[in-house]
Amino acid sequence: MTPSEASAAARRALPLVDLTDLSDDATEAGARALCARAVTRHGAVAAVCLWPRFVATAKAALVGTGVKIATVVNFPRGGDDTRAVLAETERAITDGADEIDLVMPYRAFLAGRAGFAETQIVRVKRVCDGRAALKVILETGELGEPATMRAAADLALAAGADFVKTSTGKVAVNATLPATEALLEAVRACGRPAGVKAAGGIRTVADAAAHLAVADRVMGPDWASPATFRFGASGLLDALIAAIEGGEHAGKDGY
């Protein structure tokens, strides 16, 4: 990839980023710093994604920027306590969350309890409906084969998910190209507008470009936008900015 190609890919990817800090030692000061990074000299990211306890902090920090506030529920283990998940979702929306990233109870799904997983998503969607977008994390690295990923994505979309998302970033295998492709194919087949979020392990411009190439192939070259495709990442933004600025320098100097 030449500097100008990397710069073009980075410019395309930057507005698709959900700038993320879900580290175990995250702090309120760190949340404010994350928000300060969300609007760059090359444009704004799509959203910041942080723990529910920092939603109100992000809401205050991002007024007027257009950057969405995403948070996680049932995270990271995808548990079975639906009542607790509903309460967590309600609190997050009340605090100002625009997007809810729900970990599907994927262990229940793998154990043959697909109906339980679907019901949890349906109930969280009812809380979100008209108030926040619902992005369902499938934890594709734990699901195994692409066919199982596709089945989970089909279930989540049928239950009302606005996005299907690969991963929490907390397991050994996170976003892979086959996982992204399986989710894109589910969205293409679902018969309504929906999106895909590739999250976990996407750190370089080449990583982002590869996932976007899959989106272009499956959905068409004009499909990916902040409303339909996201990258969940913590370190990617710095790589994108470096590539944009490197490409600008290369263009000015003719190499």
| Phi, psi for residue 202 in degrees, rounded to 5 | -95, 105
Active-site positions read 101, 165, 197
Cβ burial of 63 (10 Å; 0-12, 13-18, 19+) is: exposed
Q: Measured between alpha carbons, how far is residue 5 from residues 1, 17, 64, 160, 209 in Å?
A: 6, 19, 32, 37, 10
The two structure tokens encoding residue 65: 């920027």
Q: Residue 141 and residue 166: Cα distance in Å, rounded?
A: 8
Sign of CA dihedral 48, 180, 125, 87: negative
Q: Look up residue 64 and give its DSSP letter.
A: T
Residue 45: which region, alpha, beta or left (left: phi > 0; alpha: psi -120 to 50)?
Answer: beta
Q: Residue 18 and residue 88: Cα distance in Å, rounded?
A: 20
How many CB atoms sit inside 10 A of residue 25's CB? 6
Q: Residue 17 and residue 105: Cα distance in Å, rounded?
A: 25
Q: Which residue shows structure tokens 């934890």?
A: 139
Sign of CA dihedral 40, 44, 46, 47: positive
The two structure tokens encoding residue 243: 């590539």
